[in-house]
Amino acid sequence: MIIITAKNLEPLIAHHTTRESMSIYAPGTPTYKKVLGYIVMAQMVLFLVGVLTSTLINDQLYAILTAIIGLISAVIVILMVLSMKDEQSVLSLHIKEMRHKRWKAILCIVIVIPVFLQISLAKGLPVIIHHAISDKAIILNSVKETRHGYKNKGPDGCVYINGYRFWYNNFICGLTEEDWYEVKPDDVLVLKGSKSAIGFSYQGYKKLTSSLLQQTIAERLKQQGYKALTLKEAQALVSQ
């Protein structure tokens, strides 16, 4: 016969209490809500990576990801808007509890969800994979145009780069104020960083000082659709 006493239960109670205290959810929270919460937290991490990164994702890959994420966003937005028709749905009750106007909630859903998914999945996730497989590299690419003013809310000295068409994946920052004001469309920059099949992480730059070299490389970049040259390709071109 086993006699159960308070002393026997102490380890079990302590273990249970520790597990409960480690959880970010209240006791009794449904599993699906926990899973959804963890997914949102993971998305937030990817979003921050996408916002803070200095990586340019391969333009063709970014186009494919943008199309896929656009479809996913459309489905999510439609389902959420339809669920708002039910006054007793979780979303409707949450909007009432927060005292938001329905039209503002719909506008927020339509704008925030696509942007959030775009940056986290089309930018943040590929960046993490890129850093896991990339190697150090130097590439040459040309400037499309300068971006706004030299000073920005984020990094300063930003310029748009040829060969990248999509929003939030078409510029680099960090040029000195002197270089930023001097740089012109089709000027060639030597970019130092790391390269993979997914993209290129920019860590530093140099301007080409030779006007003849600038012109030669700029013409080649135009001929091949502004696909960046590697250092070896540029050296081979110059030696011809």
Domains of the chain: which residue ranges?
Answer: 28-132, 135-238
Output the pLDDT for position 138.
87
- The stretches of the chain forming alpha helices (DSSP H) are 6-22, 31-52, 59-83, 90-98, 102-117, 125-133, 177-182, 211-223, 231-238
Output the pLDDT for position 80.
81
Cα four-point dihedral sign 65, 67, 68, 69: positive
Output the pLDDT for position 100.
66
DSSP letter for 118, please: I
Residue 216 has pLDDT above 80, yes or no: no
Output the pLDDT for position 18.
47
Residue 61 has pLDDT above 50, yes or no: yes
The more confident residue out of 79 and 13 is 79
> What confidence tens digit (pLDDT) does each residue in 84-142 have?
777 767 666 666 666 667 777 778 888 989 999 999 999 999 999 999 999 998 888 88
CA distance linking residue 110 with residue 177, whole number of Å: 38
Confidence band of 214 (pLDDT split at 50, 70, 90): low
> Nearest Cα to 149, choosing from 170, 166, 173?
173
Mean pLDDT across the chain: 80
The more confident residue out of 192 and 86 is 192
Confidence band of 56 (pLDDT split at 50, 70, 90): very high
Output the pLDDT for position 48.
94
Q: Hey, what are 63's tokens?
A: 């186009």
Residue 19 has pLDDT above 70, yes or no: no
Backbone phi, psi, residue 45, to 5°: -60, -45
The more confident residue out of 192 and 232 is 192
Which of helix, strand or coil describes residue 106?
Answer: helix
Output the pLDDT for position 106.
79
Q: Which of 79-93, 148-162, 179-193 has the highest mean pLDDT?
A: 179-193
